[in-house]
Structure 1
Amino acid sequence: MRRPENSPRRTTVRAAALVASAAMVVVGIQSGSASAGNERSSASAVTMSAGQHAAAVKDAQASAPATADALGLGGKEKLVVRDVIKDANGTVHTRYERTYAGLPVLGGDLVVHEKKDGARSTTKATKARIAVASTTAELPAASAKKSALKAAEAEKTGKAEAGKEPRKVIWAADGKPTLAWETVVTGLQHDGTPSELHVVTDAKSGAKLYQFEAIRTGTGTGDYNGTVTLGTSPGGSGYTMTDSGRGGHKTYDLNGGTSGTGTLFTDADDVWGGGRQSAGVDAHYGAAETWDYYKNVHGRTGIRGDGAAAYSRAHYGNAYVNAFWSDSCFCMTYGDGEGNSNPLTSIDVAGHEMTHGVTSNTAGLNYSGESGGLNEATSDIFGTSVEFYANNSADPGDYLIGEKIDINGDGTPLRYMDKPSKDGASWDYWSTGMNGIDVHYSSGPANHFFFLLSEGSGARTVNGVSYNSPTYDGSTITGIGRGKAEKIWFRALSTYMTSTTKYAGARTATLNAAADLYGSSSTEYQTVNAAWKAINVN
């Protein structure tokens, strides 16, 4: 974020309160109607075990050549299955990456929606036909690497290096498909966060086509969770922070290091807390709450939906005031804050940052422009949702992002979902000029949409916090409730959004999701439509 059970689950009694923080081309719409109070469960995704998910992916990959033919893809194109979602009504949504002549197609992802009767429709990241005149690069890889290092220099990346050779790709995320080089430059961002800067360079002209930072970050200080329940396992002479009930999630102590996994947290009597353990308990608890939220609310077992756990690392670096998610290690990492006295380990951090992992493994929203704003908003939306889900009396759910951080020094939160512009930088409404601003601020309209959809417009109080949400068109919105809004956004993300989805595409995706869940004549569908109009997306 930026400024303006093979083993029992055991209750952990803390000697002191826990430290925490906040980091913080579409298908036709299904017809039908449903009452405002009844969800259309036949169109909801069914929960699959890890084995069932793996089998579904394997089956889909086996039929991928036939699917490519049915979609009319060119002879040089192939489909690679990334995810499969099955609905209770028999509809199957299969998400694919594309290759061309063996090269990855960035921005070529698509989702095939196949009903039980065989009827198909497709959501594509690009409408363009994938083809290039030649796959022979005129620009040498060394030149692409040099350009990428210059891009990293412009970002003030410390210790920048491009250890891996650039890979040849087809860039198709905007405009005409282009042969390109993708270079990953590693190093350190200005605050000590690791950097994985991806730079896409035209393989003919040498022009930079795109760049994005793969490490998703968040910032916070502290909140208190109180007594919590942890999933631990017997190990060595005592117990370890290994949650076998949640995919085997492990939490490690980096002890000030900045690489590797460090040492797995252990305890002799399984009563954790105090000293270095406190940050580990917070991180382990936050990961568990996030796992449970996605499984129990959305039927998704693990960040990838395959039952595999990520892992957590506490005590990163020296006085590191941040926390981050990394796809490359599939892990969450937490610093200890100013003076190494306020570890950035909380429900909010886990919910926001781990959602970046969920987004990477579903829509894969590009982390730039409008797509990047939607990516950040998705993490705010589900970070908030995890906070409500945890129902921790020490930190009641709210629509204030980073309210416990006091990063501004005056007690104000980092971001506001009811009126984003109150932070001094975020935008309340969509406009054409938004594409070039920081993704933490272009997330504002989507956060605003979610608040309006959940709670409605005007003044209200939720869990003791007062809000007053305006609308672009002066309309009055009556919310449908956060629970329904969460399910609509998640279905849109996992089923209808792609890497290139912008605000207009997010509107269509959420309308599709609302129609699936509640019917296109329902109050929920109409409210989704009204909430988008209320932030100037029509």
Structure 2
Amino acid sequence: MKRILPAAFVTLTLWGCGDSGSTRVTSTRELAAGPERTAAVERAVSRVLLEGAKLGVTAPEALSARTVLVDDDGTEHVRLERTWQGLRVIGGDMVVHQRGGADARGFSLTGQPSLASVASRPTLDASVAALRARSAFVGNLSGPRTAKLVVDARQGHEPALAYEVVLDGYQPDQTPSELHVLVDATTGAIRGKWDAVHTTAAVGSGKSLYSGQVSINTDSALLGGYALRDTTRGGGFYTTDMNNLGSIPIVGDTLPLPPLLLPGTLFTDSDNVWGDGTPGNRQSAAVDAHFGQQTTYDYYRAVHGRDGIDGAGRMGYSRVHYGDKYNNAFWYDLCFCMTYGDGNGSILAPLTSLDVAGHEMTHGITSQTAGLAYEGESGGLNEATSDIFGSLVEYYANTAQDPGDYLIGETIYTPSTPGDALRYMHQPSLDGKSPDCWSSSLASLDVHYSSGVANHFFYLLAEGSNPAGGPASPTCDGSSHGGIGRLKAGKIWYRALTVYMTSSTNYAGARTATLSAASDLYGAGSPEVSAVAAAWSAVSVN
């Protein structure tokens, strides 16, 4: 049965799909600081102020630019953030689409109401808000880092003055936590929470755990040896050993420098031959992580023209052997790095597989672009984005030992039971927790499970419902159709992420964003646009 999304889930979309005529986008570049960028931002801000009533933007608000993208046809996409009386507006980001000074294509934003009714002063003290926020933390807490006034204007919430309380500590499974809790500055009620630590679940040569014998770039700058450091890609990156340092005891509110900020020990070697393909050799997992980072960089550079995680060459780094039999991997913005546990040997093997590496680096790219909030439907889309590109990186590498597929973590999950996986993109419900189809209850699920609907959509878009040589993918509306291929599907999702999605984008907004992206790339009346619409309908996003 098809489901029509209720009004609360409708994205405010003020651009027209394909209104650029017959012109198709073949390349997009990001503007660095300079006169061209300044002029584009000024045009965008003027457009927002002109349309203020329609967009809910009123005095005393200010706008600042985060990124500026320009298509080869001259269309500009200016990503703006809002502040109100000097306070950050959470959920207040938008993208202005324009061509020069005369042609305004519209705006991407998700249901932003006017902030005119927001209280100008808090009635709750920051220290009280911090105490309220502690009740939302589960695990070993070190105390609040900050409690700052913000405006909570996330979709589905009446705008209000709130404290954003940041809590540091560890979850019960050793995962570091930077929990952001929104506390109403008037009532003291907890309005929402999300974690800034994004998890997976869950020319030397090296022998990896999962990809076989691989070539990896290293650095011979060490006296008489080599370092697991690549200086040839972007701004360079390296791989370190966390020496199984993980959650550490906390006495009262005293926490020494947390492991999630420690860089680890750089891997070095005398002969530039790394690992032996077994977990017993500490270098083997490092080879996987290093190979995964260089392959993910190469995929984004070759397919999407993106230079590193931030688009300007910044790559971050990889840390392996985190924690005591830690069953997860995670991306963390503050260290700008990927971190991998060794697993406990029964549920998970070391989590350095290629699709997990692509998954974690993609969390960084999402943070640098759309910034999809890690909660509700936007959190599910954030996780799905990492699953999608983790799979595409695996296909791009095409190693004999770990060929591409639409299974997430199939090489690391329950190593004694071959054939299963953490997640199944062709039929997400096979994991027992992820839905195949959209419903109004989706936002209440853990983001690793609400991602299932977008994963299902992507598989149907790329491969179809009954692909030759691949598993069948049951649709929610009983439809049957073919796919447009991984390359086109990946380009559509990447453009939707970087050009049209915002932090509050939900599933309805993702449908709109991907339709616009497909129209830009392949034409308004193209088969690709029709395929995007059909694939979304097939997972009940109409």
TM-score, normalised with respect to structure 1:
0.87
Task: Return 108-117 or 55-64, whichever deviates more.
Answer: 55-64
Instruction: List per-residue Cα deviations over 1:163-203 (Å, max 9, x = no partner).
Output: x2301100000333211000011111121010111100110
Q: Match for residue 302 of structure 1?
A: 308
The number of residue pairs the alignment matches comes to 496
Name stretches of at least 5 consecutive residues in structure 1 with no aligned partner.
1-24, 35-39
Residues 1:383 and 2:390 aligned together: yes
Report deviation, 1:131.
3.1
Residue pairs, 1:242-253, within 5 angstroms: 242-246=229-233, 247-253=235-241
Q: Match for residue 147 of structure 2?
A: 166
Change over 3 Å in CA distance of 1:61–1:528 after alignment to 2 = closer
Instruction: List per-residue Cα deviations over 1:423-453 (Å, max 9, x = no partner).
Output: 2111111111222112211111111111111
Report deviation, 1:459.
5.6
Q: Match for residue 239 of structure 1?
A: 226
Q: Match for residue 269 of structure 1?
A: 271
Report deviation, 1:511.
0.5
Query: Residues 134 and 167 of structure 2 are in contact (CA less than 8 Å); yes or no, is this contact kept in structure 1?
Result: yes
Letter of the structure 2 residue corresponding to residue 319 of structure 1: K
Residue pairs, 1:120-519, within 5 angstroms: 120=104, 121-152=106-137, 156-162=138-144, 164-174=145-155, 175-219=157-201, 223-237=209-223, 238-246=225-233, 247-258=235-246, 259=259, 260-274=262-276, 275-338=281-344, 342-407=349-414, 410-411=417-418, 412-458=420-466, 460-462=468-470, 467-519=471-523
The CA RMSD measured in Å over matched residues stands at 2.3
Change over 3 Å in CA distance of 1:517–1:181 after alignment to 2 = same
Change over 3 Å in CA distance of 1:225–1:410 after alignment to 2 = closer
Task: Return 469-478 or 231-240, whichever deviates more.
Answer: 231-240
Report deviation, 1:263.
1.6
Query: SS where residue 425 of structure 1 aligns?
Result: coil
Aligned-residue identity in percent: 50
- Taking the aligned partners of 1:528 and 1:31, their CA distance within structure 2 comes to 18
Report deviation, 1:461.
1.6
Letter of the structure 2 residue corresponding to residue 451 of structure 1: Y
Query: SS where residue 84 of structure 1 aligns?
Result: strand
Report deviation, 1:517.
0.5
- Taking the aligned partners of 1:119 and 1:128, their CA distance within structure 2 comes to 25
Report deviation, 1:407.
2.9
- Taking the aligned partners of 1:445 and 1:262, their CA distance within structure 2 comes to 37
Change over 3 Å in CA distance of 1:99–1:470 after alignment to 2 = same
Letter of the structure 2 residue corresponding to residue 416 of structure 1: Y
Query: SS where residue 505 of structure 2 aligns?
Result: coil
Change over 3 Å in CA distance of 1:395–1:104 after alignment to 2 = same
- Taking the aligned partners of 1:172 and 1:266, their CA distance within structure 2 comes to 48
499, 523, 535: which one aligns with 1:531? 535
Instruction: List per-residue Cα deviations over 1:252-283 (Å, max 9, x = no partner).
Output: 11212242112212223333224322222211
Task: Return 116-125 or 282-291, whichever deviates more.
Answer: 116-125
Query: SS where residue 385 of structure 2 aligns?
Result: helix
Q: Match for residue 102 of structure 2?
A: 118
- Taking the aligned partners of 1:74 and 1:317, their CA distance within structure 2 comes to 49
- Taking the aligned partners of 2:99 and 2:335, their CA distance within structure 1 comes to 36
- Taking the aligned partners of 1:421 and 1:342, their CA distance within structure 2 comes to 23
Residues 1:92 and 2:76 aligned together: yes
Q: Match for residue 32 of structure 2?
A: 53
Query: Residues 314 and 334 of structure 1 are in contact (CA less than 8 Å); yes or no, is this contact kept in structure 2?
Result: yes
Q: Which has the higher contact order (CA 8 A, sep 6+)?
A: 1
Change over 3 Å in CA distance of 1:361–1:355 after alignment to 2 = same
- Taking the aligned partners of 2:241 and 2:446, their CA distance within structure 1 comes to 32
Query: SS where residue 477 of structure 1 aligns?
Result: coil
- Taking the aligned partners of 1:57 and 1:322, their CA distance within structure 2 comes to 40
- Taking the aligned partners of 2:126 and 2:158, their CA distance within structure 1 comes to 21
Query: Residues 356 and 390 of structure 2 are in contact (CA less than 8 Å); yes or no, is this contact kept in structure 1?
Result: yes
Instruction: List per-residue Cα deviations over 1:90-121 (Å, max 9, x = no partner).
Output: 11111111111111000000001112463121
